[in-house]
Structure 1
Amino acid sequence: MQRKAKHIPVYDICALQDNSGSLHDDLIIEPFGAYLKRHPHLTVPHRHSFYHMLLFTKGKGMHTIDFEQFPVAKGQIYFMAPGQVHSWQFEGETDGFVLNFSEHFLSSFLKNDRYTDQFTFLDGIAANAVLQLKGQVYEETKALMGKILEEAEQKQPLAMDVIRICLLQLFITVSRSEGSPHIQQSQQHNIVTLRNFRRLVEQHFATLKLPKDYAAMLYITPNHLNALCKDQLGKQAGEIIRDRILLEAKRLLVNRDMQIASIAYDLNFTDNSYFTKFFKKLTGITPEQFRKAIMDHNSKS
């Protein structure tokens, strides 16, 4: 259910299920038009505690993931990881397929619980999460969504396993459409190291803010970590850490009831002044100005 805590509203998967008796507590699959009618409040910024994906079959307008805006279009699919913030501003009738699933839904089925790490659209980075499907790829993806919906509605034996297989097939189909190059054996270790670095940043960004802290946990030197980040991501390790702190600050600022001094405290800044300087240096505006801009935008939506 919705939690009215000090942070932006967070929805658990059970809060979004209908009353018809769900096939599984860890899964929701539904035509998006019906889903949107049942949950009109989801147009305002909020978070999920589960994975969320949506394939548009019609619609116009904009949607926002972690404060990056994307235009809605037929054939677009987006993926969101738990904790990301998003909102919608649609124009006219919008439809498609929405699928929500818990972190446990696939991990309980796969022998390798890191299998889905290879799909960059699930990594929680907005720029990687929104894809435009065309032609046969769009038709195949739409058909897979339809098959998942059919299995969920009919509730046949082993339906959950069929759904999991279809979902993995969907991931592979979308990933192949992006033309991801084959990773050479010599590069695999570096990619695993970077994934572990991002995972550690996600866990510790509020308390560990220096590359050397993460390098120590990865058993590499800070220079090596910086070189990997620069080569693969185009940024220094310190930038990756600062970007994650900034993103969390923006997420917290969406809640108008949370004092900025409290946000600074939650993110382990020594005082509100230091937090404001940090935020303005990276964005060009103060936390107060950012919050006002978000509130003004939401009031016009």
Structure 2
Amino acid sequence: MFDDFDAGIAIETMSFENLSIWDDATLKEFEVAKQSHREDRHSFFLLEKGTVHIEIDFQEYQINQSSIIYVHPDQIHRILAMENVVVSSWAMNNESLNPQYLKLLEDITPAKPLVLKEEEFSIISEAVSIAIKFSKRKTDKLYHSLLKDSCNALAAFVISQYSELAKSTDKASRFEIVTKAFREILELNYINLKRPADYAKKLHLSIPYLNECVKHATGYSVSNHIQQRIILEAKRLLYYSDQSVKEIATALGYDDYPYFSRLFTKVTGMTALAFRNKKRG
């Protein structure tokens, strides 16, 4: 699919139902998908048939038919196994996505597989089919607009399905509203801001109150969330890049390399090198 990333958008339906008749190109594509990788685009997968086992940011998920999942560009993922699969996939870069949708997609990341009701599955299947037809009409005068608008409509539908699961801000408790604001600031600042006091200041709250809200809403302290976000990015870099542990520490805002090493071991239960060797081995 990604070989035809036209105007920052790609879409197609793929069938992986009979391994014995796959051609060399399909087998090669599957082998690539089995390796941990990160895309420079927003990826959506509609599983129309079969079962897929996938790992996203070191968490394993089973996706069953009539399900959809969204993968953010920052997330590392790989296919673990799949059985009799038919999947429709589309991918869009930041420039091709509606700016409003970019913000909403950040809010639902990380996204777990979402099982669609029969009506919703039928609607999005039909919409995917139409978008694929548009993608093949490259001689049309408004080809890029047709492709962009149809894929944005698909993205909007996915966002709306995830949003229905979440409570609206109007109904959310004060604890949940504060926690959501904290997470948004954390995502933008975790490399530069490491202390709960930094986030409390940005939110114009006292440290105890911020911690009370976050702990009440999530069960974990502000410090824990900061550490977990940093270590997640460290894991991604350890697996996906060839940077040394010291270079990764620096990239994540730690000039004190021994401190970073101790933090990684404390949070994960193993050294950074042990993690890299285990995941790559």
TM-score (norm 1): 0.75
Residues 1:69 and 2:60 aligned together: yes
1:117 to partner: Cα distance: 4.6
- SS of the residue 2:96 aligns to: helix
2:2 aligned partner, one-letter code: L
User: 1:83 is matched with which residue?
Assistant: 74
Residues 1:277 and 2:268 aligned together: no
1:211 to partner: Cα distance: 1.1
Higher mean alpha-carbon deviation, 245-254 vs 57-66, is at 57-66
Aligned residues: 267
2:249 aligned partner, one-letter code: A
Higher mean alpha-carbon deviation, 244-253 vs 81-90, is at 81-90
Kindly report which structure 2 residues correspond to 1:79-158, keeping only aligned pairs within 5 A, or say none.
79-108=70-99, 113=100, 117=103, 123-125=108-110, 128-154=111-137, 157=142, 158=145
**Structure 1 unaligned spans of 5+:** 1-14, 297-301
Percent of aligned pairs with the same amino acid? 23
Residues 1:265 and 2:256 aligned together: no
2:182 aligned partner, one-letter code: F
Q: 1-side partners of 2:209 and 2:128: how far apart?
A: 42
1:184 to partner: Cα distance: 2.6
1:219 aligned partner, one-letter code: H
Change (3 A) 1:106 1:266: closer
Of the candidates 46, 55, 80, which is equivalent to residue 46 of structure 2?
55
Q: 1-side partners of 2:188 and 2:155: how far apart?
A: 27
1:237 to partner: Cα distance: 1.5
Q: CA RMSD in A?
A: 3.0
Q: 2-side partners of 1:261 and 1:118: how far apart?
A: 34
Change (3 A) 1:91 1:229: same
Higher mean alpha-carbon deviation, 89-98 vs 79-88, is at 89-98
Residues 1:164 and 2:147 aligned together: no
Contact 1:80 1:129 in 2 (8 A): no
Q: 1-side partners of 2:8 and 2:240: how far apart?
A: 28
Q: 2-side partners of 1:240 and 1:196: how far apart?
A: 13
Q: 2-side partners of 1:196 and 1:50: how far apart?
A: 25
Contact 2:50 2:64 in 1 (8 A): yes
Q: 1-side partners of 2:192 and 2:169: how far apart?
A: 33
User: 1:209 is matched with which residue?
Assistant: 194
Contact 1:56 1:75 in 2 (8 A): yes
